Amino acid sequence: QKEVEQDPGPLSVPEGAIVSLNCTYSNSAFQYFMWYRQYSRKGPELLMYTYSSGNKEDGRFTAQVDKSSKYISLFIRDSQPSDSATYLCAMSVAYNTDKLIFGTGTRLQVFP
């Protein structure tokens, strides 16, 4: 079993829809949770960062962490065709560690 599980999709939604992307994990020591966005044939870029449990909002994006359930989510409101990309969750145990564990990524397509 992988430490981080993520549904690969693809997820196809109409423009303006609310998108929910999720990851589950098995290592209860994870404390730092991130979402990266990766456009086709590009490197991943950091989208959201959350420490421990709770919510964090940035524009149309909201990240949620539920450590009791070992479950993290990324919500995208008013989705746009430009949001079409692969979204990867990532997590680590400590702040100053290089051991960043990624999910496999969920491919999202937003159609006009």
- Residue numbers at the binding site for another protein (CB under 8 A): 4, 6, 8, 32, 34, 36, 41-46, 49, 51, 88, 90, 92, 95-105
Distance CA 102, CA 4 (A): 7
Distance CA 25, CA 111 (A): 30
Name which of 9, 44, 6 is nearest 25 in CA terms: 6
Nearer to another protein, 61 or 102 (CB): 102
Shortest reach from residue 112's CB to another protein, in Å = 27
Distance CA 6, CA 8 (A): 6
Nearer to another protein, 19 or 91 (CB): 91
Distance of CA 36 to the CA centre of its chain: 6
Shortest reach from residue 70's CB to another protein, in Å = 17
Shortest reach from residue 16's CB to another protein, in Å = 28
